[in-house]
Amino acid sequence: MTPAASPIARPLPPPVVTAGGHAPFVELVRSRLIEFCREPEALFWVYGFPLVMILSLGIAFRQQPLASLRVDIVAGPHAEADFAALATAAGLTATIRPQADALERLRTGRADLVVEHTADTIEFRADPTRPEAALARDRAHDALERAAGRRDLLAVRDTPFAAPGGRYIDFLVPGLMALSLMGGGLWGVGFAVVEMRIRKLLKRFFATPLAHWQFLAGMMAGRMLFVIPEMVLLVVCARLLFGVRVFGSPAAVAFLLVLGATAFAGIDLAIAARAKTLEAVSGALNLLMLPMWLGSGVFFSRERYPDWLQPVLAALPLTPLVDALRGVMLEGRTLAGCAAEIAAVAAWGIVCFAIALRIFRWQ
């Protein structure tokens, strides 16, 4: 009996046939690019939304002089003298009002400080929870003491300092870049995989020579191709509109961006490897993203949180990416100087991609 007729002989696998001589991996990436370009809403969320974030927050927190603080002086025998002293003080706008009117303005936030000068004392009324109140109190106290004849013993000079890299917009841009990588990596890959599973497209891929590792890698690569133009757009706009500089190596920044996009795509694949509904993957992604939105230092320093929470925040996958981007862009650090952060981001991506390879199912 010939081997082909033997009952225990296994049929040979079908020959690998690829379209146009290209590998299945390349064809999958190409199809992802075509699919993406046919969705205008996807183009907005990838390129438009991060730009809108930079523009809105950059304008809201742009560098501007400190607003004049409002001081209401209670009408009385000393009111005119106090007004003369405070009217010439820098950063203060003084008015004389009846006591009831002044206190009502303080209550409703239309005044930062109320000054009432009686026979032997000056009373300051202010809301202690407002930083403006403390500043107004100190300025008013200083101006009134000078008017009373206080002599400063030291000659001082105030010199404004606003160096590039020290503004809030400089702090914000690297965080928004990392946030955009997280959002694109998580939502741009996982939803596509689950949608393919719902539409039974994964079953069709299963019938092709495409291996599951090629499929997962192709989904990651399809997302990666949008990272470079997306991040270049953000950096150029931040530079032209707000003067944001990159103090470190552009090549180091590019490496961190590719690393971050790859890591978050791997995390997303691990989440979507078994999910069968969009609701399931959406809930898991929101649960993962919310702590990073608030605790990874994107919009404000995570040092505001208590010390016992710092190890938890440092373990989030977005935190080391934000720290590394700020280290390179604002401090001029090298990749070697960000080795710990790079290792943490890479570990998240490698481990999650390995998990995705392990648990992935075509249906």
Closest CA to 217 of 39, 90, 29, 19: 29
Q: Please check whether residue 165 is in contact with residue 330, taking contact to mean a CB–CB distance below 8 angstroms.
A: yes
Pick the most confident of 6-15, 165-174, 179-188, 340-349.
340-349
DSSP state of 4: T
Confidence of residue 55 (pLDDT cuts 50, 70, 90): low
Q: Please check whether residue 71 is in contact with residue 94, taking contact to mean a CB–CB distance below 8 angstroms.
A: yes
What sign for the dihedral angle of Cα 193, 312, 176, 353?
negative
pLDDT tens profile 215-256: 777 777 766 777 777 788 888 888 888 888 888 899 999 899
State residue 294's pLDDT score: 79
State residue 2's pLDDT score: 44
State residue 6's pLDDT score: 43
Q: Calculate what percentage of the chain has a pLDDT beyond 90.
A: 10
Q: Which residue has the higher pLDDT, 133 or 329?
A: 329
Which domains occur in the chain, in start order? 28-61+167-359 (no CATH), 69-147 (3.40.190.10)
Angular region, 132: left φ>0, alpha ψ -120 to 50, beta rest: alpha
DSSP state of 7: T
Average pLDDT in the chain: 77
Closest CA to 95 of 74, 67, 119: 74
Of the listed ranges 80-94, 139-153, 194-208, the least confidently predicted one is 194-208
State residue 15's pLDDT score: 44
pLDDT tens profile 312-323: 889 999 999 999
State residue 322's pLDDT score: 92
Find the radius of gyration of the CA atoms of the chain: 30
State residue 4's pLDDT score: 47
Per-residue pLDDT at 9 exceeds 50: no
Q: Roughly what angle, to the nearest 10 degrees, separates helices 250-272 and 339-359?
A: 30
State residue 252's pLDDT score: 92
Confidence of residue 3 (pLDDT cuts 50, 70, 90): very low
Two tokens, residue 167: 């503004």
pLDDT tens profile 121-140: 888 888 877 777 888 888 88
Q: Which residue has the higher pLDDT, 227 or 331?
A: 331
pTM of the model: 0.62
